[in-house]
Structure 1
């Protein structure tokens, strides 16, 4: 007699290596798959304004969603109920039922969720997913760390937990990715035949659809997200575009920007990214700024955006006279992006950095020859601190007198 009773169906959403269906703001490659560790939660203390203006502490939620994750998550938040800290998710996915349970619990709280990863300082030179570092994160201690949104990923089952929060925000350089769930069957009473397996799989998929549909509706998420999810095979992954993120009601902000950040690589730089949708735009535009130095008194300031015909670009602050970028140059062969640039001396750059915000003014010509300016206001959050790091790496200006510490001590 064939086994006919299904003991349980587990709905699994886990990040797998597959084709990435997206375009930049659309086309962003999925980073290499990290070692999967069970989801852990810990409180992090960082630098001033690390998680936003006036925010220096947050909760990191990272790793794979497993069968006991929701219970542990609830116990963790109960221990910290008196602290309304933002929650940052970094997860490849896992058990869909558990992710929905996490989101349902979050929904009853005034929580804010974002996608971001933490580099824990106490881990030292150990890899962040090493046994030593994972044990630290599971210790229950408050740790110290640096928060990054660039390349941080919340995929598969993770978005369901993330979308349970009262407020959910996606940084321009973070990744939210989806695919359809996989039904894992557990039979009792022997090995079933192919017909029984197919029927059980169908029932599991129907249940997954009902559960996900009801949950997303409760969270105020557009049904289009689930419709899109159904079209993505479990073996593949789809990175949501900014237009999709807004259209489905995940993050409806029309202008989202990162703080200015120092990036240490072959060419040290200070960088900022924004996605904006202004009147007249049919979709979000990805904008990027980068400051590099020739020396401590001479800097290159570049601006990259989708190609636009017949436009000028300037930067200004507080009613000051605009300074115009030179350009444009196309970025790479056949690229739909263009780059503008200018050279600034240190004092001129400092006059921008010292303001609370700057304005990017893009001027185009109407068919009747009129100039049509379009202004995007940007926060200068993080710019001063990032510039300090950049200046420390710049070669001295020509003719600058270098005073060594021993000489300074003798004066």
Structure 2
């Protein structure tokens, strides 16, 4: 059984606000599955994590044996494994999935960008030689446009800890059977054999998914998706099926190249009263070396009370209420304001930022809902970004630093 290689673009997360197309991916994968150790900067793969295992490429007929040999040499069974694959041989994915389950592996979806490959495509011959040379490579993790599709989804299910970033994709579809007949069987014999093989393949898939502790809803869904198509699992589906059951998922802060570059973070948070999630995004722009601008985009609940204030707490600083009149685009609110350099330093020094959303209630009372977001990657991304910022104008008015940030409607 072989899945045709089908690629899917990562979804735009915020309509009208996040509009970006993925890079060309026609030749974005190695012809066979490769596995190698990688090392990055401090916290490159999460707080306290700077080493991981990269698994990428098309799942070929001998993939499981290579993965097994490699993992036998890795004593740290909790070192995270990052997958980036369009799929391949289904039977091999089942074998790898069971191997990962025996290790109680931690699996994530992410692209490993190897520094020594420079501006290469990451899959040309020179880069593949570096990746498969046997040594640990210097690299970084990028979750945006990363994918684990088709047969890759099954090996991913084998891990006991599974994490899918907000900007990564996991997609499924039904299998395609490739059969070779010898001799000259009749049409009836071919049809009967094909039917038996299809039933067997469906049974094996359902048995594997159930053994991995995943809801039968995933099996039911896969049966409805034609092989020629591809269904990207939504965040509620990932949660409901038991694939990634975190109530809040977030990306690291990362510098994004664009006509006007910015540092970005995305958070998906489960709503208290359902299995649905809402999307939030932070974009940090550089106006000059003494002043930044932060844009906060939140999805609002049309049936709930309107949020008229936002609070940020950085470290032990006193919370400050932000502006009251955000701009609206579709079902999203956009808040924005400048940040003084001293305030930016306080934000960078905090390991977490507490965000509070205040809504007016009856009798003049205000309810406040709070949640935390981490600052992982923020300092490195901002330091890199700041190097290209213009100097502050000599006649610029001084900006008084405050312990928080003030938002106003986007201009």
Match of 1:47 in 2: 41
Q: 1:327 to 1:291 in 2, by over 3 A?
A: farther
* Conserved 8 A contact 2:281-2:297: yes
- Answer yes or no: is 1:16 the counterpart of 2:23: no
- Answer yes or no: is 1:395 the counterpart of 2:385: no
- Answer yes or no: is 1:311 the counterpart of 2:307: yes
1:362 aligned to which of 346, 357, 360 = 357
Q: 1:330 to 1:204 in 2, by over 3 A?
A: farther
TM superposition score normalised by structure 1: 0.87
Match of 2:90 in 1: 96
Describe the superposition over 1:240-286 as per-residue Cα deviations: whole angstroms up to 9, x where unpaired: 11100000000101011122222233212111111111424551111
Match of 1:71 in 2: 65
Q: Counterpart of 2:337 in 1: which secondary structure? A: strand
* Greater Cα shift, 34-43 or 105-114: 34-43
Whole-Å Cα distance in 2 between the matches of residues 83 and 395 of structure 1?
46
Whole-Å Cα distance in 2 between the matches of residues 327 and 204 of structure 1?
61
* Conserved 8 A contact 2:77-2:105: no
Match of 1:33 in 2: 25
Q: 1:44 to 1:231 in 2, by over 3 A?
A: same
- After superposition, where does 1:266-345 map in structure 2 within 5 Å? 266-280=259-273, 283-308=276-301, 310-312=306-308, 313-317=310-314, 318=316, 320-325=318-323, 327-331=325-329, 335-345=330-340
Q: 1:40 to 1:308 in 2, by over 3 A?
A: same
* Conserved 8 A contact 2:10-2:168: no
1:258 aligned to which of 244, 251, 262 = 251
Whole-Å Cα distance in 1 between the matches of residues 297 and 88 of structure 2?
37
Match of 1:227 in 2: 220
Shift of residue 25 of structure 1?
7.3
* Conserved 8 A contact 1:14-1:155: no
5+ residue gaps in structure 2?
397-411
Whole-Å Cα distance in 2 between the matches of residues 225 and 400 of structure 1?
61
Q: 1:377 to 1:281 in 2, by over 3 A?
A: farther
Higher relative contact order (CA 8 A, sep 6+): 1
5+ residue gaps in structure 1?
1-10, 402-411
Whole-Å Cα distance in 1 between the matches of residues 342 and 11 of structure 2?
41
* Conserved 8 A contact 2:326-2:335: yes
Describe the superposition over 1:159-184 as per-residue Cα deviations: whole angstroms up to 9, x where unpaired: 10011012111111111111111111
TM superposition score normalised by structure 2: 0.87
* Conserved 8 A contact 1:314-1:325: no
Whole-Å Cα distance in 2 between the matches of residues 297 and 215 of structure 1?
56
- After superposition, where does 1:153-192 map in structure 2 within 5 Å? 153-190=147-184, 192=185
Describe the superposition over 1:22-76 as per-residue Cα deviations: whole angstroms up to 9, x where unpaired: 8847999776434242110011111111011111111100000111111111111
How many equivalent pairs are there?
386
